[in-house]
């Protein structure tokens, strides 16, 4: 995958993948996000083939990222439902 494709995907995930809806909607949310990512990649001149060559199925990657977002959110919450730190939530996810 080209550096521009990697950078595009990392930025796109950081901006668009957040705490997911309830688990039964996880697959649907990933489908929507995959479609949006493909459209925005095309608009940015990044071939989706370059992205999928590196990461495989984009929807599967986004399901994993949504699950990670939910786990990170759970770790950030203390016993009172308040976030412990915003800095962890603001970091770019690694691919």
| CA 82 from centroid of its chain's CA atoms | 23
pLDDT at 2: 79
Give dist(CA 82, CA 47) in Å, integer. Answer: 40
Q: Which two tokens stand for residue 69?
A: 């977002």
Give every CB contact of residue 11 below 8 A, 6+ residues apart in sequence: 92
Q: Closest by alpha carbon to 37, among 63, 7, 68, 8?
A: 8
pLDDT in tens, 1-37: 678 888 999 998 888 887 655 666 888 889 999 999 9
Q: What is the pLDDT of residues 41-87, one digit of tens each?
A: 999 999 999 999 999 999 999 999 988 887 887 777 644 455 444 44
């Amino acid at each position: 995958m080209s550096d521009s494709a990697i950078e595009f995907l990392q930025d796109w995930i950081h901006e668009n993948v957040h705490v997911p809806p309830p688990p039964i909607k996880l697959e649907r949310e990933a489908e929507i996000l995959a479609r949006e990512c493909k459209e925005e990649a095309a608009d940015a001149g990044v071939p989706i083939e370059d992205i999928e060559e590196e990461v495989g199925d984009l929807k599967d990657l986004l399901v994993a990222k949504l699950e990670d977002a939910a786990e990170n959110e759970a770790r950030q919450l203390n016993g009172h439902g308040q976030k412990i730190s915003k800095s962890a939530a603001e970091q770019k996810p690694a691919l």
